[in-house]
Amino acid sequence: MLSKSLGAAMNEHLSKELYAAHLYLAMSAYFDANNLPGCAAWMRAQAEEERTHGMKFYEYVYDRGGSVELMSLDKPPATYKSALDAFEQAHEHERQVSQAIDALYAQALEEGDYASQVFLQWFIQEQVEEEKTSGTLVETLKMVGDSTASLLLFDRELGSRGSSGG
Q: Which of 6, 129, 114 is nearest to 57 (CA)?
A: 6
Residues 60 and 1: beta-carbon distance below 8 Å: no
Which of positions 41-100 make contact with Fe ion (CB under 5 A)?
A: 50, 53
Which residue number, 22 or 53, has a Cβ lying nearer to Fe ion? 53
Nearer to Fe ion, 20 or 144 (CB): 20
Stretch that binds Fe ion, among 2-10, 31-39, 83-91, 130-138 (CB under 5 A): 130-138
* Nearest-approach distance from CB 152 to Fe ion, in angstroms: 26
DSSP conformation letters of 93-138: HHHHHHHHHHHHHHHHHHTT-HHHHHHHHHHHHHHHHHHHHHHHHH
Query: Rule CB under 5 A: is residue 130 a binding residue for Fe ion?
Result: yes
Smallest distance from Fe ion to CB 128, Å: 11
